[in-house]
Amino acid sequence: MTSSVLDLAPVVPVVVLEDAADAVPLARALVAGGLPAIEVTLRTSAALDAIKAIAAEVPDAVVGAGTVISARNVSDTVAAGARFLVSPGWTDALLNAMKASGVPFLPGVSTTSEVVALLERGVTEMKFFPAEAAGGTAYLKALSAPLPQARFCPTGGISLASAPSYLALPNVGCVGGSWMVPADAVAAGDWARVERLAAEASAVRG
């Protein structure tokens, strides 16, 4: 696996799973559609079991953990098989835990000062969240001149229509989104629909 989360795929699905039994068929549909990097968020009690299942049963997937907000989250998800970590924000304690984990990570930022603080600590790859609410493409474009060494995965409010404008920016490596895993499709087990949406998403960069 590349050491950079940003280079795994142009789009990283952000997945919320209520039932761990859905994890494997969902991951297989996403991989078949061309999206191998899958961020399973720690927003439900099923998340850790979902990460374990994908790590064990879908070898072509690169499963990561999202909504990582504590050192305990870091240790639990890496033990479950997470191969990358994503946080909505960061603190010194969380950053230290992610650095010590041995897996790639994207700490979340939404301000210039947060970006500079991470650069001081040797971190150049970050999640920009919540992307649309925090200024979108205009904000990221403005950051690229004074802080060209920082690269981002914008997440939050991004759609199939808006993804290309983010991916066209020089400081954006990939985007995160959930439009290819609609809740009704997951609830219905409509994996063919998920695969079709994933295929559309994987083609956004051309």
Q: Could you confirm whether 18 is annotated as catalytic?
A: no
**From 52, 127, 195, 200, the catalytic residue:** 127
Structure tokens at 154: 């914008």
Task: Answer whether 37's CB lies under 8 Å from 64's CB.
Answer: yes
Q: Could you confirm whether 52 is annotated as catalytic?
A: no
**From 39, 52, 125, 195, the catalytic residue:** 39
Pairing label, strands 108-109, 37-41: unpaired
Structure tokens at 106: 């994207």
Strand segments, DSSP code E, in the chain are: 11-15, 37-41, 62-66, 85-86, 105-106, 108-109, 125-128, 151-154, 175-177
Q: Which residue has the tokens 């994987």?
A: 202
By annotation, the residues acting in catalysis are 39, 127
